[in-house]
Structure 1
Amino acid sequence: MRVGIDPLVFNQQVKQSLFDFSERFPETELTILTKPSHILGQYLHHHKVDIAIGNPYHKTDYAFNVDELFLVNCLWVAHQDMLQSPLSSSTRILLLDGCEDTVDLSNIAQHNIWILDDSRTILDMCIAQKGIAFLPQHLLDNQTTATKLAPILGETFLFGKQIYASLMWPQHADFSHQHQWIHDKLRKR
């Protein structure tokens, strides 16, 4: 079984579901691909993954089945020391690959934008005061991050967003027992 997961929605409940899946289906071979939702949509269309967990409302030409699972809060954050003064146009913006579909880039076009595919690097750069970032809440919930980073408030062009984490699968594809189990597990949480 091949499962794609967008890093924006790869929270603790998704991880726990994978742990539980390993116990429930110990004989099932599993490949996990972490890619932005727009790539997962392509992978579904080209049958490179069987199912995906991501944001189905990205810009795509591909059609697939969608079932919304849960909401993910995303917000702009910075090191607390950077928030002592107003942000300037020279402030670096750090985005997780795939956020371009979630963030209005026209509002931040004057900034130096870095797009990275590793959330840990983005967190480390924020903690080192090398930029501000748009991240899902679940990445900010650990103790170290919570004591150093804070939400950016009062900047009219930097507002948070909620996205739906959804199960996506190709149209006209069979929904196996394992797929149904993952769906049910994530819906219950």
Structure 2
Amino acid sequence: MFSKNSRYKKLSDTVTNDARGRRLGSKTLRVVPDVAGTFRYAVEEGDRLDHLAYKAYKDSTRWWRICDANPEFMSPQAMLGKEPMVTISIRVTFPGEGDPPWCDLIRSLSALVGIEDVRIADDIRLVEREMEYEGDTVTYTGERAARSVAVVFNRMNLDKRAIVHEVRALGFNTGESYTVSRVGKKIVLPPDVTG
């Protein structure tokens, strides 16, 4: 039933009941082993777990060792940034009069099928400014705020263009946007120990 190097092969057999009450043969629960690793790998664009496993262990089927060493990720795809959920950040400005309609923006985006979360992020930076004071030019440090909309969405239902279109439809101007990705982030590659 399992290949010779399967992580489930050595588990003992058991009998369980399914939702309909049928008794079925099964394997006992596999407890995630303690995997200690100090080698940290920076995720690159196009990485695949089977390729990483081959580089690390000369066996592409041992990708699950990498998953065991990185339990903070719910799925192997999330570890490499290839899950369907994507986070984008779009710089926005409001050219109209009065306060920007932030509530309308959040409500409108949240109503789109596939959007999981919408947040407004303030990026406040200190910049040097000059002003005339009693005939002298005075340099001072002031705040400059830039706002972005961070949107978490399912790329199977929606794309970035549709989100930008919705933001613009509410009267906002959009600037640079980027996808928050796992590229460059570190994961643990544990030593090759059977477990």
Shorter-normalised TM-score: what interval? under 0.3
TM, length-normalised to structure 1: 0.27
Q: What's the TM-score, normalizing by structure 2?
A: 0.26
Structure 1 or 2: more helix by fraction: 1
Larger Rg: 2
More strand by share: 2
